[in-house]
């Protein structure tokens, strides 16, 4: 048996935050799932929370189908603000887009800190020797760091990700049940609070935990009545406090400006979500999945190839293991080399109950069970530790971890080109001062639905007016949280130019409607998924139902806009031919070496006057893609159109 170092690499504890932060910079944009929390955090930082400020909030214009809680955005705003101010002072934060990056970094650091505390509670010297504790913790860190989805989404501002660090702290307390009943009850109180304020699906952990606790699991008083009373007390305190907090906070933010709530109506978003999705059965509107989806699709997706370690843990700890002579060993003799991991078994049981309960619902998303990943990884760490006991198994470990890292690399490259709206707006912001436009007046940019859903946020709008009045050059710059005495959370560009970002939906696209053509001609730039800037479409006069003017438009609608550049986005994977793949790596004129040579001999930034067809697909990205046996194929997804300049007479 190969001897393991008694001092495992302590750098493994830095792997998780380092990789999580790297994923933020490799995919800095966001999608529609994160839009509410991102936009609300921006509005809180800029406009503040005074009643007069609520009418400026983004959710007033785009309220959504079901109201979301503002508790998460409030938490994000208050942890982002000091970091954004410090970043401006040291010159790191220069634009509003940088503040969005700071917000995501703050969230991911909070999550990784909670994750480290969670792991320390499971793998500690009181339960293990110092050497074994270090080895198990290193196994946990490596497994978690190499998986893609958990760390990628740990920085995303979905309600699930915002709740994640607090859920991990609750798990840390709940895992103490075998030895400490008071800590378990505190964890149940916190989890109940989170379920009633941020994510109702967390009740899927509360139900199996309560059943097992009442069945007598754990130390403490064996009196069932006392257990019932203690459990009810924890649930009532957490539930009532969470419901009261949510009702007060969310009614305040939603009542005044939003038509979704009547003047005398109270709002509890998670309860509204329960009625909408479960009682009324509207969750099926978002898609229906088979009952086994979590087991056969979501868990393998989240755990990747390292799920083999978890399977090995379950097999070796619950079934006899054969020795070299083929005789079955008893479980006690197998487990002499391993510590008593009752807390991990306990957490795995809760995760199994959580998944079983959520499998009863028609609509399923892997984000609903993302909280189980650290628990599964703790179990997988036991399996990985077993694999390290012999040299042949160590080779298997290298293979499994290598495949996991390869999959994560592939998914990271795909994610980099999966936000065409964000890439398009970022490139347009860089080129606004160089593209031929009118030097006077404001610029108007219209953003279609697809770009808005794939990376465009208020933070990405660098030239958005954030002053006390709407007139260009008039009014004072708003301070932090809409005040006049706090430093502003968002820096203002030195060469500020008034830009209006318009996300109006369902605009008339009839080329025969003069008012529609006039509306479109008021924009200087378009971010659209209509390749070639063909924004108008012919309609049947008898079936369109639109009111068209008798007079035709004074200008040709088809000639209003011309493409400035296009943005590529991911479409599909294609397996490379083995011979061609090897050829591209070995020979100097192969694809990889040609791309690598181009990226080193020429600047990565092309001329701003060029017609871009590869925005979002850098030469470094192409070089990395050339290294893979799978080809990541892209296609134009978003076109940035500019108004045609009148030809000189």
Tell me what the mean pLDDT of segment 467-478 comes to: 59
pTM of the predicted model, to two decimals?
A: 0.90
Check residues 177 and 267 and name the one with the higher pLDDT: 267
- HSE-CB for 500 with a 13 A CA cutoff: 13
Does residue 474 register a pLDDT over 80? no
Does residue 431 register a pLDDT over 80? yes
pLDDT of residue 221: 63
Q: Classify 565 as helix, strand or coil.
A: strand
pLDDT of residue 564: 92
Do the Cβ atoms of 76 and 107 come closer than 8 Å? yes
pLDDT of residue 647: 63
Does residue 525 register a pLDDT over 70? yes
Q: What proportion of the chain, given as a percentage, has pLDDT over 70?
A: 82
Check residues 362 and 472 and name the one with the higher pLDDT: 362
Looking at the DSSP bridge assignments, the partners of residue 636 are: 568
Separation of first and last alpha carbons in the chain = 86
Does residue 322 register a pLDDT over 60? no
| Strand bridging mode 443-447 / 328-329 | unpaired
pLDDT of residue 606: 40
Mean of the per-residue pLDDT values of the chain: 84
Tell me what the mean pLDDT of segment 500-516 comes to: 89
| 585-642 pLDDT, tens digit each | 887 777 777 776 766 655 444 433 333 344 556 777 887 888 888 899 999 999 999 9
Do the Cβ atoms of 417 and 496 come closer than 8 Å? no
Does residue 324 register a pLDDT over 60? no
Does residue 438 register a pLDDT over 70? no
Does residue 552 register a pLDDT over 70? no
Does residue 152 register a pLDDT over 80? yes
* Cα separation, 98 vs 105, whole angstroms: 10
Q: Of 33, 26, 36, 41, which Cα lies nearest the Cα of 152? A: 26
pLDDT of residue 156: 96
Does residue 366 register a pLDDT over 80? yes
Check residues 545 and 346 and name the one with the higher pLDDT: 346
Check residues 190 and 385 and name the one with the higher pLDDT: 190
Q: Which residue has the tokens 């946990």?
A: 140
| 455-466 pLDDT, tens digit each | 999 999 999 988
Q: CA distances (Å), 524 to each of 218, 609, 647, in order?
A: 67, 17, 16
Q: CA distances (Å), 247 to each of 55, 64, 192, 253, 267, in order?
A: 20, 18, 15, 10, 5
| 112-139 pLDDT, tens digit each | 999 999 999 988 766 678 888 888 899 9
pLDDT of residue 441: 67
- HSE-CB for 279 with a 13 A CA cutoff: 7
Do the Cβ atoms of 52 and 60 come closer than 8 Å? no
Does residue 393 register a pLDDT over 80? yes
pLDDT of residue 331: 34
Does residue 494 register a pLDDT over 70? no
Strand order in the sheet with 499-502: 499-502, 443-447, 525-528, 630-643, 561-575, 612-615
């Amino acid at each position: 048996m190969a001897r393991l170092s008694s001092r495992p690499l302590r750098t493994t504890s830095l792997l998780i935050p380092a990789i999580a932060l790297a994923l933020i910079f490799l995919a800095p944009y966001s999608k529609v799932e994160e839009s509410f929390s991102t936009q609300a955090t921006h509005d809180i930082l800029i406009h503040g929370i005074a009643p007069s400020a609520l009418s400026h909030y983004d959710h007033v214009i785009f309220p959504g189908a079901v109201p979301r809680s503002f508790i998460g955005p409030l938490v994000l705003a208050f942890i982002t603000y000091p970091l954004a101010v410090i970043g401006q002072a040291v010159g790191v934060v220069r634009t509003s887009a940088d503040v969005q990056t700071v917000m995501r970094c703050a969230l991911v650091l909070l999550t990784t800190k909670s994750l480290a505390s969670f792991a320390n509670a499971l793998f500690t010297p009181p339960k293990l020797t110092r050497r074994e504790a270090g080895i198990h913790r290193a196994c946990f860190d490596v497994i978690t760091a190499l998986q893609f989805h958990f760390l990628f989404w740990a920085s995303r501002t979905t309600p699930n990700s915002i709740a994640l660090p607090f859920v991990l702290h609750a798990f840390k307390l709940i895992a103490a049940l075998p030895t400490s009943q008071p800590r378990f009850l505190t964890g149940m109180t916190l989890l109940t609070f989170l379920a009633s304020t941020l994510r109702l699906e967390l009740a899927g952990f509360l139900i199996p935990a309560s059943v097992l606790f009442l069945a007598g699991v754990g130390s403490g008083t064996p009196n069932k009545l006392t257990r019932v009373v203690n459990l009810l007390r924890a649930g009532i305190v957490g539930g009532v406090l969470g419901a009261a907090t949510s009702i007060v906070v969310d009614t305040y933010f939603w009542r005044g400006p939003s038509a979704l709530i009547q003047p005398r109506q109270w709002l509890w978003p998670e309860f509204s979500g329960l009625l909408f999705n479960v009682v009324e059965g509207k969750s099926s509107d978002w898609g229906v999945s088979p009952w086994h989806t979590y087991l056969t699709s979501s868990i393998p997706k989240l755990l990747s190839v390292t799920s083999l370690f978890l399977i090995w843990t379950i097999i070796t700890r619950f079934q006899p293991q054969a020795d070299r002579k083929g005789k079955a060993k008893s479980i006690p003799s197998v487990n002499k080399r391993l510590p008593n991991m009752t807390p991990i078994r306990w957490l795995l049981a809760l995760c199994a109950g959580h998944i079983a309960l959520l499998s009863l619902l028609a609509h399923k998303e892997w984000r609903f069970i993302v909280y189980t990943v650290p628990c599964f990884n703790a179990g997988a760490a036991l399996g990985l530790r077993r694999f390290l006991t012999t040299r042949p198994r160590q080779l298997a470990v290298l293979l499994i971890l290598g495949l996991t890292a390869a999959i994560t690399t592939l998914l990271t490259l795909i994610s980099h080109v999966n936000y065409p709206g964000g890439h398009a707006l970022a490139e347009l912001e860089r080129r606004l001062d160089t593209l031929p436009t009118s030097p006077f007046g404001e610029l108007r940019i219209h953003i279609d639905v697809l770009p808005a859903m794939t990376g465009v946020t208020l933070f990405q709008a660098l030239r958005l007016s954030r002053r006390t009045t709407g007139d260009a050059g008039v009014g004072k710059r708003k301070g932090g949280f809409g005040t006049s005495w706090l430093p502003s959370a968002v820096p203002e560009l030195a060469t500020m130019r008034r830009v209006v970002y318009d996300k109006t939906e369902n605009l008339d696209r009839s080329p025969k409607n003069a008012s529609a053509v006039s509306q479109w001609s008021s924009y200087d730039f378009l971010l659209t998924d209509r390749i070639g800037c063909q924004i108008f479409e012919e309609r049947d006069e008898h079936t369109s139902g639109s009111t068209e003017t008798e007079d035709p438009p004074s200008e040709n609608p088809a000639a209003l806009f011309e493409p400035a550049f296009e943005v590529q986005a991911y479409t599909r994977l294609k397996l490379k031919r083995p011979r061609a793949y090897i050829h591209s790596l070995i020979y100097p004129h192969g694809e990889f070496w040609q791309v690598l040579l181009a990226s080193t001999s020429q600047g990565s930034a092309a001329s701003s006057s060029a017609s871009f067809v590869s925005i979002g697909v850098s030469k470094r990205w192409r070089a990395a893609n050339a290294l893979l046996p799978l080809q990541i194929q892209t296609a134009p997804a978003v076109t940035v159109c500019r108004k045609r300049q009148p030809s000189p007479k």
